[in-house]
Structure 1
Amino acid sequence: MKRERVTVWRRQLASLGACSLLVAIAAGCTGSSASKEPNSVEGDAFSPFESPVTMGIAYSYSDISLPEGEFTDDHFLTRYLEKKTGINIKYEWEASGEEQYNSKLDLAIRSNDLPDVFIANREQFRVLVQRDMIVDLKPYYEQYTSDLVKSIYDATEGKALKEASVEGKLFGMPNVAIEADSPTYVWVRQDWLDKLKLPAPRSLDDLERISKAFIEEDPDGNGKPDTIGIPVNNTLIYGEKTGVHGLNSVFSAYHAFPKSWIRDEQGHIVYGSIRPEAKAALERIAKWYREGVIDNEFVLRKDIVDIVELNRIGIVFAPWWATYWPLSSAVAKDTKAEWRVFAAPVDSNGVFMTNSSPTTDRYLVVRKGYAHPEAALKMLNVLTRLERNQEPNKAEAQKLRATAVQLGVQLRNYYPFDLLLDYPDAIEKRYDLLIQAKNGDIDSETLDPETRSIYEDMLLENKAPLKNMEAWSTSQAYLLGGAVSKQHKVVKTSLFYGVTPTMEKKWTALQKLEHETYLKIITGELPIEAFDAFVSNWRNQGGSLITSEVAGLVDGNE
């Protein structure tokens, strides 16, 4: 994989003077890091408290179903966690989804009424450190962090912990993003391509032709003109976090990187959303909207999942893991559906361009005054071990997963907090091992526990195709998504993910201006020429000053 110069975000705290928070500007490629096997017995990292400890948590939930008689803070998984850690989980408050969670947490920070342990995003983390509201976890790290968690952090070459540290203090346990999660690929119904005798997509023109053919030529054979264009999320473009139905890869094909701070041809720091390349991409997308290539009702559509599940679409923009969601529900309803993934659309030179996400974007933190900061680390150890399929009691772990499957929900949706920890190059490494085991080049018994579990899902899917949707989702994600993740690509990484002083006052309004302008141009409410006025307004309303501030931070730390 070719990588352009990579720098990770830097943050500045005005109250700390010249001292900056969460800085890691580094150059070069992020290569594969060998992971070390965690010890099976690690003393304080996994030993439960002798006397029960209560931990108040802010809980963000989505898509959960509970067995009869169980509650959000007293169910099959919380009881497992309490047994393993000696920690009694108490939800101080609950929130439905990320937006509500952040709103409630912002209020809790302002009122200084914090839960004992909670997840904070980057901006919340900055404020918490600035106001001296959270615990320095460095004194607890070596003694209470498991070898598995340490090895994952080590695999980031120091980036993850550095981004959670200020003046030598570790104020949170950061998540670690999987590098393969960043690119947005195109997933296409291969059975429809075969029926209409269409080649696999490569370019933007290919996608346009395929989408029109799917709409006009009745690929599902039901005799109804009910196929819809490519679904689009109202977000339009994902910034730091990737997602489904975003238009990132369309912009990338034009070498446009909205929401990213990049360098122009002269080496100056610029904001990708106001670049001429973004204008060219918007013009193409507006054409697609007019012609129905993309779903021309996406603005009003309340739930894209409905049209996906009803198999009314044949193209989806999504990461490598799309077979977990949303494609699993579609295939469950139509087992004839054959989805394939492609590193497309490519640019005019035939190269797949993509943006990348930061190494870290959220943190597990502990409020000052909580008597047992080490409890947060113990809980993280147990959850990470479970998530990475390294729970020593295999039967117990399988029972948990079976319960979640029976309820139709991923097990991690029941976690008291969601702080994903995995090796940055995990997907590519597991793909290589799976292919070697499949071809008989290595003994499957030598696979690490997580890869072994995936391999068993592959065997199950081969033996009984589409009889177990969890096995189908996992095997297809790693075989198809893993393969495309290893293909050549050029990755563009934002040089800055922080907040400058002017951003604190102006950024919300500028982001609203950007989204409204993009949306109106795409839907035809504004002509493409309105982009130039948008750029001028963006600069005059604080964008130029913000650009200078970002440039000063980036250039001053290289």
Structure 2
Amino acid sequence: MANYSYTKFSDGETTDNNVYTNYIKDTYGIEVKAIWDVPFEQYEQKVNLMIASGEMPDFLAVSPSQFKQLYDAGSIADLTDIYEKYASDQTREIMDLAGAEVLESAKMKGRLMSIPWTGVAKEGVSILWIRKDWFEKFNLSAPQSMADVLKIAETFATQDPDGNGKPDTFGLGLYKELSENAMVGFLNGFHAYRDIWIKDADGKLVSGDIQPEMKTALAELQALYKNGWIDKEFGVKDIQKLEESIASGKVGMFFGNMGSAAAPLQQLTPENEWLPFAVPSVDSEPAKLQIPLNIFNYYWVVNKNAKHPEAIFPIIQTWLDMFYYNTSDELYTQYNYDSEQDIAHWMNAPIKIYKNKRAENHLAEIEVLNGGKDKTSLTPEQRNNLAGMEKYLAGDKKYWNVYYQDGPESSGKIAVEYLEKDMYQPTQFTGTPTPAMLQKKANLDKIRDQMILKVILGGSLDEFDKFVEQWKKLGGDEITAEVNEWFASTK
């Protein structure tokens, strides 16, 4: 097989001879050999050269376009029956948690032709973070709607939360990168979705960029800007500049992610705690948080000539057993991370799939915190989180970041809520880029983002309607037709 990464080894270890390859050989009798090894950033180019040469290992991680190329060439094995027979319950559970569209995206003409390298997109969605001292100063309640968010933004911008007598604070932290949570979380609260495909009332796929909900959200952002409740210079400021404003105590609320308490908030304001809240909705319909196709860049494919295509599943199981399900500190050091040597052994696992674990961690840790189970039932990572929570509860406030990421009222609890209520809006287009996309999408994206900034900074809302017309004429209608042609072919 081909190695897809680059790592640091213990003395005497290599890509082909390490704790993972040895375990797989000793446990399953499978000998893993890499035909080459390159740094991550060179991987896709190397795979392209390999495909062109006609040389292919038994197992290989490939991009979506490479997956289609190999399928069209008849080079990869049909895994439909193999998956049904050999995939473990844990593997199936991870595929289910990733989203039904993920496994569907690995199929061609109804047959499973790859195993998705599942990602953690569901853990990267937006969370609303609010400074605890400002929240308490104004005796605020948890925001139940986007109207509440706007009201809090007004309060923080106009009521001198830092008490210095100057109008120098902002209600909501934003910066120029429109693809990041700071902006996307706000849009999603208005059921607006940037850069993904959704279903319309007729069941056809449409671009979220041109839907009326986007115009509604932009109108509110324009009002925030006009009123001075967001930084007047946000359109030219990057994430570092926003972090400087947070560190200097000028921002009291922003849309981050589930891990924002640790980075950047605890690093920027170690003495100021921040509270997490689920993204509220503008109306009675719950907000849904947009996610791209939930894969980690690649699909695992199997050479059609591989003698044992089923071997992919014990290799995956080794990864799951050692990385996600292990409860031994000794095995954690041996197979995951050795802190004394600063070696990430987990990088050596030949085949990986990722799972959402924040909700699972929260539930397990809270059960132990409440006395329902013993600490030995936890993984080393969970025990470490629990220790941080216990230190916080004992008065060591520097562990507030752990408490608000894993504790009783944390982003972990919100992760559970998001999963249980299925508060996700995955893109409905999971195919490879269409011909018109390859030619025209980059330009359409550029004019979209120019329009967004122009409207927020005070341009007429008519700019949105002009953009929609322009988008359609410059290739949007063509792309939409291709997307729906693909969508029809999947049914």
Higher helix share: 2
- 1:57 matched residue in structure 2: 3
* Residues in 2 aligned to 1:101 and 1:364: alpha-carbon distance in whole angstroms: 13
- 2:477 matched residue in structure 1: 544
- Selected match of 2:190 from 254, 263, 274: 254
Q: Would the aligned equivalents of 2:127 and 2:185 in 1 still touch at CA under 8 Å?
A: yes
Alignment CA distance shift 1:137-1:362 (3 Å): farther
SS of 1:325's partner is: helix
The aligned runs of 1:14-93 (5 Å cut-off) are: 55-59=1-5, 79-85=18-24, 87=32, 92-93=37-38
> TM-score by structure 2 length?
0.75
The aligned runs of 1:396-475 (5 Å cut-off) are: 396-398=331-333, 403-404=338-339, 414=347, 419-422=352-355, 427-428=358-359, 430-440=361-371, 442-444=372-374, 447=377, 449=379, 453=383, 454-455=385-386, 457-459=388-390, 461-463=392-394, 465-466=396-397, 472=403, 475=406
Q: Would the aligned equivalents of 1:328 and 1:473 in 2 still touch at CA under 8 Å?
A: no
Q: CA deviation at 1:342?
A: 1.4
| Equivalent AA in structure 1 for residue 229 of structure 2 | V
- Selected match of 1:321 from 238, 241, 259: 259
* Residues in 2 aligned to 1:473 and 1:415: alpha-carbon distance in whole angstroms: 32
Alignment CA distance shift 1:396-1:464 (3 Å): farther
| Equivalent AA in structure 1 for residue 478 of structure 2 | L
Alignment CA distance shift 1:274-1:155 (3 Å): closer
* Residues in 2 aligned to 1:95 and 1:520: alpha-carbon distance in whole angstroms: 37
The aligned runs of 1:154-233 (5 Å cut-off) are: 160-166=102-108, 170-177=112-119, 180-181=122-123, 183-215=125-157, 219-220=161-162, 227=169, 230-232=172-174
Q: Would the aligned equivalents of 2:190 and 2:287 in 1 still touch at CA under 8 Å?
A: no
* Residues in 1 aligned to 2:174 and 2:307: alpha-carbon distance in whole angstroms: 47
- Selected match of 1:481 from 411, 417, 435: 411
The aligned runs of 1:453-532 (5 Å cut-off) are: 453=383, 454-455=385-386, 457-459=388-390, 461-463=392-394, 465-466=396-397, 472=403, 475-476=406-407, 479-485=409-415, 486=417, 491-498=424-431, 499-524=433-458, 526-532=459-465
- Selected match of 1:288 from 203, 221, 224: 224
SS of 2:255's partner is: strand
Q: CA deviation at 1:347?
A: 1.0
- 1:40 matched residue in structure 2: none
Q: Would the aligned equivalents of 2:362 and 2:413 in 1 still touch at CA under 8 Å?
A: yes
Alignment CA distance shift 1:456-1:436 (3 Å): same
| Equivalent AA in structure 2 for residue 277 of structure 1 | E
Alignment CA distance shift 1:439-1:549 (3 Å): same
| Equivalent AA in structure 2 for residue 153 of structure 1 | M
* Residues in 2 aligned to 1:282 and 1:106: alpha-carbon distance in whole angstroms: 42
> TM-score by structure 1 length?
0.68
- 1:383 matched residue in structure 2: 319
* Residues in 2 aligned to 1:529 and 1:458: alpha-carbon distance in whole angstroms: 50
How many residues are treated as equivalent by the alignment?
Answer: 476
Alignment CA distance shift 1:347-1:150 (3 Å): closer
Q: Would the aligned equivalents of 1:186 and 1:315 in 2 still touch at CA under 8 Å?
A: yes
Q: Would the aligned equivalents of 1:57 and 1:115 in 2 still touch at CA under 8 Å?
A: no
Q: Would the aligned equivalents of 1:85 and 1:379 in 2 still touch at CA under 8 Å?
A: yes
| Equivalent AA in structure 1 for residue 252 of structure 2 | G
- 1:32 matched residue in structure 2: none
SS of 2:354's partner is: coil
RMSD: 4.6
